[in-house]
Amino acid sequence: MSEELVWETRQFGHRARLALDPAQIRLIDAQAHAARATWNLLHDFWTMTPKCRRSLKAADTAIRQARKETDWLGVLPAQAAQAVLKTYFQAWKNCFEGRADEPNFKARFRTVMSVDIPQGRDLNITRVHRRWGMVQIPKVGRVRFRWTKDLPIGKRATSGNRITGARLVKDALGWHIALRVQSIEPAPKPHQGDEVGIDAGVNLPLALSDGNHQDHGRPPRLLDGTADRDKWLNADEKAELLRLERRAAHRKGFLKRGEKTSRRLHHTYDQIKQLRARAKRRAVDWQHQTTTAIARQYGTVVVEQLQITNMTKSARGTIEEPGKNVAQKSGLNRSISQEAWGRTVTMLAYKTTRHGGSLHKVPAPGTSQCCSMCGFTTPGSRKSQALFVCKNTGCGWSGNADHNAARNILHLYRMGHALIPAAGRAVVRRPRGVKPATAR
Q: Which of 147, 151, 145, 155 is nearest to 163 (CA)?
A: 151
Looking at residue 424, its pLDDT comes to 40
Sign of CA dihedral 283, 285, 289, 295: positive
Q: Which of 170, 153, 171 is nearest to 162 (CA)?
A: 153
**Lowest-confidence pick of 223-227, 403-407, 420-424:** 420-424
Question: What is the C-alpha to C-alpha distance for residues 301 and 345, in angstroms, rounded to an integer?
Answer: 10
Residues 346-353 have a mean pLDDT of 91
Pair 205, 70 in one domain: no
Q: What does the CA dihedral 92, 93, 99, 105 come to, rounded to 10 degrees?
A: -10
Pair 101, 211 in one domain: no
Q: Which of 198, 130, 193, 127 is nearest to 163 (CA)?
A: 127
Selected residue with higher pLDDT from 165 and 216: 165
Contacts of residue 286, Cβ cutoff 8 Å, sequence gap at least 6? 216
Question: What is the C-alpha to C-alpha distance for residues 299 and 352, in angstroms, rounded to an integer?
Answer: 7
CB-CB neighbours of 141 under 10 Å: 12
CB-CB neighbours of 74 under 10 Å: 14
Pair 90, 212 in one domain: no
pLDDT above 70 for 439: no
Selected residue with higher pLDDT from 51 and 167: 167
3-class DSSP assignment, residue 281: helix
CB-CB neighbours of 363 under 10 Å: 15
Pair 202, 345 in one domain: yes
3-class DSSP assignment, residue 431: coil
Question: What is the C-alpha to C-alpha distance for residues 220 and 242, in angstroms, rounded to an integer?
Answer: 18
Q: Which of 290, 284, 340 is nearest to 312 (CA)?
A: 340
Pair 350, 212 in one domain: yes
Question: What is the C-alpha to C-alpha distance for residues 93 and 98, in angstroms, rounded to an integer?
Answer: 9
Looking at residue 293, its pLDDT comes to 93
pLDDT above 60 for 354: yes
Residue 250 lies in a domain: no
Q: Running DSSP on this structure, what letter comes out for residue 62?
A: H
Residue 383 lies in a domain: yes
| pLDDT one-digit tens code per residue, 251-279 | 988 888 888 888 899 999 999 999 999 99
CATH, residue 212: 3.30.420
**Lowest-confidence pick of 46-50, 198-202, 225-229, 356-360:** 225-229
**Lowest-confidence pick of 29-43, 71-85, 377-391:** 377-391
Pair 100, 206 in one domain: no
Residue type for 33, please?
H
**Across the chain, what does the average pLDDT equal?**
84
Selected residue with higher pLDDT from 67 and 1: 67
pLDDT above 50 for 428: no
Selected residue with higher pLDDT from 123 and 225: 123
Q: Running DSSP on this structure, what letter comes out for residue 70?
A: -
Q: Which domain holds residue 358?
A: 194-222+286-428
| pLDDT one-digit tens code per residue, 165-188 | 999 999 988 999 999 999 888 888
| pLDDT one-digit tens code per residue, 271-318 | 999 999 999 999 999 999 999 999 999 999 999 888 777 767 776 665
Residue 235 lies in a domain: no
H or E stretch including 116?
strand 114-117
Residue 42 lies in a domain: yes
Looking at residue 421, its pLDDT comes to 56
Strand partners, 303: 361
Residue 436 lies in a domain: no
Residues 112-127 have a mean pLDDT of 91
Residue 253 lies in a domain: no
pLDDT above 50 for 435: no
Residues 99-115 have a mean pLDDT of 89
Looking at residue 430, its pLDDT comes to 42
3-class DSSP assignment, residue 305: strand
Looking at residue 249, its pLDDT comes to 93
Question: What is the C-alpha to C-alpha distance for residues 381 and 402, in angstroms, rounded to an integer?
Answer: 13
pLDDT confidence band for 335 (50 / 70 / 90): confident
Looking at residue 87, its pLDDT comes to 93
Pair 302, 418 in one domain: yes
Residues 329-349 have a mean pLDDT of 81
Pair 87, 204 in one domain: no
The listed range with the strongest mean pLDDT (34-38, 67-71, 121-125) is 34-38
pLDDT confidence band for 434 (50 / 70 / 90): very low
Looking at residue 313, its pLDDT comes to 73
Contacts of residue 265, Cβ cutoff 8 Å, sequence gap at least 6? 248, 251, 252, 255
Pair 212, 109 in one domain: no
Q: What does the CA dihedral 87, 89, 94, 95 come to, rounded to 10 degrees?
A: 120
Residue 133 lies in a domain: no
Looking at residue 221, its pLDDT comes to 67
State the total domains in the chain.
2
pLDDT above 70 for 323: no
Looking at residue 226, its pLDDT comes to 60
Instruction: Check if the beta carbon of residue 271 is closer than 8 Å to that of residue 312.
Output: no
The backbone torsions φ and ψ at residue 300, rounded to the nearest 5 degrees and listed phi first, read: -130, 125
**Lowest-confidence pick of 157-161, 212-216, 335-339:** 335-339
**Helix, strand, coil tally for the chain in percent (to 5):** 40, 25, 40
Question: What is the C-alpha to C-alpha distance for residues 113 and 86, in angstroms, rounded to an integer?
Answer: 17
**Percent of the chain at pLDDT exceeding 70:** 89
DSSP-derived pairing of the beta strands 358-363 and 298-305: parallel
Question: What is the C-alpha to C-alpha distance for residues 232 and 219, in angstroms, rounded to an integer?
Answer: 10
pLDDT above 50 for 237: yes
Pair 113, 199 in one domain: no
Looking at residue 377, its pLDDT comes to 78
Pair 96, 213 in one domain: no
Pair 209, 338 in one domain: yes
Question: What is the C-alpha to C-alpha distance for residues 141 and 175, in angstroms, rounded to an integer?
Answer: 15
Q: Which of 203, 200, 218, 274 is nearest to 244 (CA)?
A: 274
Sign of CA dihedral 119, 122, 123, 128: positive
